[in-house]
Each structure stands twice: as C-alpha cells, then as structure tokens.
C-alpha cells in the first residue's frame, strides 16, 4: 500500500467502531470533517 501524504484523498476504507458498527469513510465526504488517530499496539496487551 502506498504511503499517504497530507492532502491526498482518503482511500475507500471502512472501520469498525467500538460498538461494532461498520463506519465507511466515503460516507463523510462533503458532510463533515473527521480525525483519524492510530495508536500502535493499542488494546493489544503488549
């Protein structure tokens, strides 16, 4: 997978929320801003 840079369009992906609902990112386009935060090893016990 190629690296993304600031200003690149978001790939067509979806994430699972804490309450196990799928959240597709393309559904937010033009509606509201979102922030994605990634934490290495979050909730992995290591």
Domain residue spans of the chain: 9-41
Q: How many residues does the chain have?
A: 46
pLDDT at residue 45, as a whole number: 62
pLDDT at residue 13, as a whole number: 83
**pLDDT tens, position by position, 8-35:** 887 788 888 888 888 888 878 788 777 7
Rg (CA), the chain: 13
Is-contact 11 29, C-beta < 8 A? no
pLDDT at residue 42, as a whole number: 61
pLDDT at residue 36, as a whole number: 72
E strand spans, the chain: 14-16, 22-24
CA distance 17 to 12: 16
The reported pTM is 0.42
Is-contact 13 25, C-beta < 8 A? yes
């Amino acid at each position: 997978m190629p690296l993304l840079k600031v200003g690149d369009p978001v790939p067509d992906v979806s994430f699972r929320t804490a309450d196990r609902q799928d959240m597709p990112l393309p559904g937010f386009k033009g509606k509201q801003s979102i922030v994605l935060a990634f934490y290495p090893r979050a909730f992995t016990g290591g």
